[in-house]
Structure 1
Amino acid sequence: MSRDWEAELSSQLEELVMSEERSAPVSAVDSVSALRRGRKVRRRRAAATAGVAAVLLGSLTVGLLQSGGRPAPVQPAVPTGGPARTDPSPLAGHVRFGWLPDDVATVDTSWGPHSSDQQLATAASDRQWMLGSSNEDPRTDPPRPPGWQPEPGEAEITRTPAPAVNGREAFWVSVKGVTLMELRFRDQDGRWLSVSGMGSRALDKDILSRIAAGVQVGRYVLPVPVSLDASTPLSSVIAADFRRTVRGAGGWQLSVQVSVRDNATVVISAESGSLPADPSPARQCASGEGMWWCAAPFWPDGPSPKVSESDVKAWFDRLNPHGPDESTWRPVLVP
């Protein structure tokens, strides 16, 4: 299983943490410790690349992005049919990006049972943007228990009014000592959304405002090149992440983590290009039409029931590759 793209984002987040630790008091910034926890979560959830990036913001609830410099190529939404569904679906959400700066190179869309609507756009380690829903009303402070007092060195969060986004109220939210800027704004249904710039070259308020103005709201289920068959229960899917290059050859990577039993998990990976070498005898793979797909055990940070060869084979046999033609792609779980 190729993990170059996962290692790349982990390295970028690590660099950002080290930068904040050098510039902030040791215990002052909650988002730094949140990222440390996030990296552990990410190791437990091999597919949740962008979900970890969202953890970076700690008390700032954010998500991810999509495409470049002009109106972005919009991923075709898969019709859900009938009344709007309320149950979660892997790589489904109600927001996506319509415009991003020209230098955005990759876009990750991530999903977990409790963290949909997350996308991350990356231009460089010091230039990333995230889009997502926000559970906090920026007009008021978070609820505090009776007698609450701030602890010494607690992160200082600042909220200030921002220019309206598509005619609706908006606020800037920042954390002292952390190189990020969040724009929180309402969609047409009154829900709070969040666009955040991370890194020293991603804080331009005009760009954040333009990104926010282009956000598309609806019901979107992202089609992917490899799906799980219809016998797969949604409850078995722990996390999913789909990364695409914005321009060029149209490269992509898909990672889905599924539950075998208890804490034992199998990671399903697929990618455009040639199958990379892997010394692990436990994985099962196939390739064709310029892509490959695999199933392999995933070992989290602690004791875990053993994943057997038959477990890996059972999940590998559920995979349905659709080929490079995007018109044939389907949702992660085939309806």
Structure 2
Amino acid sequence: MSNSSFPTEFLLLPFADTRELQLLHFGLFLGIYLAALLGNGLILTAIACDHHLHTPMYFFLLNLALIDLGSISTTVPKAMANSLWDTRAISFFGCATQVFMFVTFVTAEFSLLTIMAYDRYIAICNPLHYRTIMDSRACVNMAAAAWGSTFLYAVLHTANTFSLPLCQGNALDQFFCEIPQILKLSCTDAYIKEARLIVVSASLLFVCFVFLVLSYVQIFRVVLRIPSQQGRHKAFSTCLPHLAVVSLFTSTAIFAYLKPPSMSSSSLNLFLAVLYSVVSPTVNPLIYSMRNQELKDAVWKVMNECFSEGINCLS
């Protein structure tokens, strides 16, 4: 097989054609990226420093914040650099690295959201055995299994995708390297090899999605039977943020990858990709801190301490 089947670089989809709009895109993405770093950084610091938050729910939330930081750092900096320097190019190695990192973080996020649903299910539907089932060792094992399996999955997907000969040029219809867009460049016969892996992956994701739905059906059945309004409010305050994050992430990702071909367009693909790869990691900390008073208090405590230390340093 000739080396021409494997381009040395790919061309990403630009957000704008004019220089003014490119700089506007750079500034907008810079603001979003800094907000994501700040929000998820505060979540990480608050959970790590406040011993009251050293519980299974917040342990998984800490992992989710790490995933969100990794996910948005995989796509946004390169998009900002391309807009700032007026280029579309990304090297073959850079594209493969971006695919590997993005698949790792996106798959890990879905796995972790499933684990978090299980944690809420045990806490609300089986509270007497919660500490026994969700002890520290079980939590660490579940988190390690999620990270380890998604790492191997990403290695398999990336190696399989970039071993395919590409016969349709090197221009991708997306602002970052995404497997479906790379597959559009592959030869017809080679595409079947990766398509089989995608079918298996979709089946596993569907099983996780069904588990999520069934878990929350059971959770809401139990919560609605709680006699006190305060008890229902406390249960909802821990479940609704997670449900909102799950809904935002899964709805945009599922629609992006399973929408009918007749609805496919560059602008729609770009919009959906921004929602699940940029907006979701940015707003997740806000969603979790809005209704969770414990987390909100811990975040404010971290911010006040940082502000006080900054004043002391200036004085």
The higher relative CO (CA closer than 8 Å, separation ≥ 6) is in 2
- Return the TM-score normalized by structure 1: 0.24
- Return the TM-score normalized by structure 2: 0.25
Q: Is the strand fraction higher in 1 or 2?
A: 1
Q: Is the helix fraction higher in 1 or 2?
A: 2
Rg larger in 1 or in 2?
Answer: 2
